């Protein structure tokens, strides 16, 4: 029986990418493959020589800005499966295929009353991408629950398992981001805690939970529901009626506390969250962009989301280059006014030279 779908090791040519990126910008991939198993992945890698140019890995395309056609091979791992491996010490281990939708995994866990992922509800994209920028929200991040990451090392062609320490996780960072083109993540192994210790540091989340925030019987599902409500009220969804986006376009800059003092002397309301090292603080990029009047700003179909200044949006027909030009304008304006350079969070493809 045939399913009508191309086999996972098949390489398709000249594939339009409009439906492969949440900005919904037009571009074409010279070659695209969607392996569903490690054997199919190996078969694709064996044929990659027929796709001249770089090999890139894409998940849901929700953290990318594609500004031009992509030569080479675009690989979208479609490995499935959520497997509970059993108890380990005071927690539970589970292995999850790279192609699983991250939010589906969160729902799977909270439905079983397993804590650990609730603050990360509704983050778009795949499980395989979660370690890449060490996804985070509301004070939790992927590294909090990472036991190991299974990946193919394209330098050697071999599969390996990287411990959480090997992954060199940082704030929205990991070795996978630092070594682009080296790794194809095939699955992740999570270690979820036995006991629920709610993380409720963010005022927006506490407000959404109301009196339940301090309830002794608060559940992971309630926290996930509150996270979903807050996110839906502030962020564009991925549906066709919503503007295209990649979530936050800029990282919150981390600067020395001495610089924070100088900045806050001029802008007393500029929010800053001190880091544990005692010498740096995390500034709010969104506040600076908003202070410059960019919220809701628009050049053609490229714009800044009216409900969230950190989010760049495609109102319809914007190209990747137009969105990049708007991002550059904002970076320059923030640099000129605050003396701080905002780093983009999404990957820009093809990589700027
Ligand atoms: P892609 O965008 O396809 O790829 C991102 C990077 O990961 C690329 O470098 C790609 O090469 C690499 N990659 C993807 N899959 C693999 C793999 N299997 N092996 C190796 N490398 C791989 N992010 C947050 O951290 N917190 C948030 O709260 C958040 N909110 C968002 C809200 C919205 C509305 C949107 C659109 C985005 C948001 N994001 C957030 C960004 C995005 O959801 C995450 O970065 C997510 O992990 C990207 O997943 P993806 O599968 O779409 O990855
Ligand atoms: P928010 O709750 O309005 O907070 C604004 C900013 O202040 C956030 O960027 C957050 O930093 C920081 N912050 C707030 N309370 C903090 C605390 N107690 N300790 C340390 N930092 C604190 O933010 P929001 O924009 O609505 O987003 C809510 C969460 O979802 C945030 O964690 C954000 O990172 C995440 N998110 C991420 C994306 C993305 O694409 N990456 C998109 C939407 C939302 P952090 O950003 O470092 O947490």
Work out the pLDDT band at 351, boundaries 50, 70, 90: confident
pLDDT of residue 3: 52
Measured torsion, CA atoms of residues 202, 203, 207, 208, in degrees rounded to the nearest 10: -30
Whether 302 and 325 have beta carbons less than 8 Å apart is answered as yes
Work out the pLDDT band at 313, boundaries 50, 70, 90: very high
Indicate if ligand 2 lies below 6 Å from the C-beta of 235. yes
- Res. 339: pLDDT tops 80: yes
pLDDT of residue 1: 43
Percent of the chain with pLDDT over 70: 98
Residue identified by tokens 């304006």 is 333
Token representation of residue 317: 């027909």
Indicate if ligand 1 lies below 6 Å from the C-beta of 252. no
pLDDT digits (tens, 9 = 90+) for 258-300: 999 999 999 999 999 999 999 999 999 999 999 999 999 999 9
Work out the pLDDT band at 89, boundaries 50, 70, 90: confident
d(CA 333, CA 302): 17
Work out the pLDDT band at 352, boundaries 50, 70, 90: confident
Work out the pLDDT band at 4, boundaries 50, 70, 90: low
Identify the active-site residue in 174, 245, 248, 284.
248
Nearest alpha carbon, ligand 2 atom 39? 248
Work out the pLDDT band at 6, boundaries 50, 70, 90: low
| 3-state per-residue secondary structure call for the chain | CCCCCCCCCCCEEEEECHHHCCCCCCCEEEEEECCCCHHHHHHHHHHHHHCCCCEEECCCCCCEEECCCEEEEEECCCCCCEEEEEEECCEEEEEEECCCEHHHHHHHHHHCCCCCCHHHCCCCCEHHHCCCCCCEECCEEHHHCEEEEEEEECCCCEEEEEECCCCCCECCECHHHHCCCCEEEEEEEEEEECCCCCCCCCHHHHHHHHHHHHCCCCCHHHHHHHHHHHHHHHCCCCCCCCCEEEEECECCCEEEHHHHHHHHHHCCCCCEEECCCCCEEEECHHHHHHHCCCCCCEECCEEECCCCCCEEEECCCCCHHHHHHHHHHHHHHHHHHHCCCCCECCEEECCCC
Region 209-224: mean pLDDT is: 96
pLDDT digits (tens, 9 = 90+) for 71-84: 999 999 999 999 99
- Res. 2: pLDDT tops 50: no
Nearest alpha carbon, ligand 1 atom 33? 247
- Which one is predicted more confidently, 18 or 5? 18
**Is 80 labeled as catalytic in the residue annotation?**
no
> Which residues is 170 bridged to in the sheet?
173
Type and span of the H or E element at 23: none
Indicate if ligand 2 lies below 6 Å from the C-beta of 345. yes
pLDDT digits (tens, 9 = 90+) for 45-59: 999 999 999 999 999
Work out the pLDDT band at 133, boundaries 50, 70, 90: very high
pLDDT digits (tens, 9 = 90+) for 220-251: 999 999 999 999 999 999 999 999 999 999 99
Work out the pLDDT band at 9, boundaries 50, 70, 90: confident
Indicate if ligand 1 lies below 6 Å from the C-beta of 23. no
Work out the pLDDT band at 347, boundaries 50, 70, 90: very high
């Amino acid at each position: 029986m045939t399913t009508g779908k191309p086999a996972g090791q098949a390489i398709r040519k000249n594939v339009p990418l409009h439906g492969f990126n949440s900005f919904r910008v037009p571009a074409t991939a010279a070659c695209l493959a969607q392996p569903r198993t490690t054997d199919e992945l190996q078969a694709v890698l064996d044929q990659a020589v027929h796709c001249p140019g770089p090999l890139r890995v894409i998940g849901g395309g929700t953290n990318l800005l594609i500004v031009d056609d992509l030569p080479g091979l675009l690989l979208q791992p479609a490995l499935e499966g959520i497997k509970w491996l059993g108890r380990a010490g005071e927690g539970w281990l589970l292995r999850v295929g790279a192609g699983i939708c991250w939010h589906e995994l969160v729902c799977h866990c909270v439905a079983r009353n397993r804590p650990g992922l609730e603050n990360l509800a509704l983050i778009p994209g795949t499980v395989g991408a979660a370690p890449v920028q060490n996804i985070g929200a509301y004070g939790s991040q992927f590294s909090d629950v990472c036991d190991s990451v299974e990946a193919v090392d394209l330098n050697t062609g071999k599969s390996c398992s990287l411990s959480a320490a090997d992954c060199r996780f940082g704030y929205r960072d990991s070795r996978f981001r630092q070594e682009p083109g080296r790794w194809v993540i095939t699955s992740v192994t999570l270690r979820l805690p036995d006991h629920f210790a709610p993380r409720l540091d963010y005022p927006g989340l506490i407000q959404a939970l109301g009196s339940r925030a301090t309830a002794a019987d608060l559940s992971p599902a309630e926290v996930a529901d509150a996270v979903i409500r807050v996110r839906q009220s502030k962020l564009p969804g991925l549906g066709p009626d919503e503007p295209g986006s990649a979530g936050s376009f800029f990282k919150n800059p981390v600067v020395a506390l001495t610089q924070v003092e100088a900045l806050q002397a001029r802008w007393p309301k500029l929010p800053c969250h001190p880091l544990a090292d005692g010498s740096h603080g995390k500034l709010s990029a969104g506040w600076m962009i908003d202070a410059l009047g960019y919220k809701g700003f628009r050049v053609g179909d490229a714009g800044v989301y009216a409900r969230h200044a950190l989010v760049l949006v495609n109102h319809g027909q914007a190209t990747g280059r137009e969105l990049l030009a708007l991002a550059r304008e904002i970076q320059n304006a923030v640099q000129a006014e605050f003396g701080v350079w905002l780093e983009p969070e999404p990957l820009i493809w093809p990589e700027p030279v």
